[in-house]
Amino acid sequence: MRGPHNILRLIRTGATFERTGAMGVALDALEAPPRLRLAARILGWPFRWMGYKGNPALPPMTRAITALGPAYIKFGQILSTRADVVGTELADQLRMLQDRLPPFPTQIAKEMVATELGRPIDEIFLEFSEPVAAASIAQVHRARLRDTGREVAVKVLRPGIQAAFRRDIDAFHFAAGMIEGLSPSSRRLRPRDVISHFESVVAGELDLRLEASAASEFIENTRDDEGFSIPAPHWHLSSRRVLTSDWAEGVAMGDRDGLIAAGHDLPAVARRVIQLFLQHALRDGFFHADMHHGNLKVGADGSIIAYDFGIMGEIDEYTRRVYAEILMGFIKRDYRRVARVHFEAGYVPRDRDETAFARALRAVGEPIFGADASQISMANLLAYLFEVTERFGMPTRTELILLQRTMVVVEGVARSLDPQLNMWEAAKPVVSDYIKASLGPRAVAQDAVQVAQILGRYGPLLPKLVDRVLWEQVHGHATKSEKPQKYRWYAATAGGALVIGLGLGLLFG
In sequence order, the β-bridge partners of residue 134 are 100, 139
149/125 Cα distance (integer angstroms): 9
Of 168, 290, 308, 418, the active-site residue reads 290
Amino acid in the structure at residue 389: T
Helices marked H in 440-481 — which ranges?
441-457, 462-475
DSSP 459: G
Strand ranges (E), 77-217 = 125-134, 138-145, 151-157
Nearest to 205 by CA among 254, 246, 156: 156
Terminal Cα-to-Cα distance of the chain (whole angstroms): 52
- Evaluate whether 189 touches 396 at the Cβ level (below 8 Å): yes
101 touches 136 (CB < 8 A): yes
**Using the 8-state DSSP alphabet, how is residue 100 labeled?**
B
Angle between helices 22-29 and 60-68 (to 10 degrees): 110
> Is residue 168 annotated as a catalytic residue, yes or no?
no
Q: At what angle do helices 335-344 and 354-369 cross, to 10 degrees?
A: 130
Cβ atoms < 10 Å from Cβ of 271 = 21
The answer to whether 229 and 299 have CB atoms below 8 angstroms apart is yes
Longest C-alpha distance within the chain, in Å? Answer: 87
One DSSP character per residue, 410-442 reads HHHHHHHH-TT--HHHHHHHHHHHHHHHHHSHH
- Residues 97 and 136: beta-carbon distance below 8 Å: yes
Q: Which of 90, 72, 118 is nearest to 30 (CA)?
A: 90
Residues 253, 426: Cα–Cα separation, whole Å: 18
- DSSP letter, residue 57: T
Euclidean distance between CA atoms 391 and 396, whole angstroms: 12
Distance CA 323, CA 163 (A): 36
Q: Which residues are catalytic?
A: 290
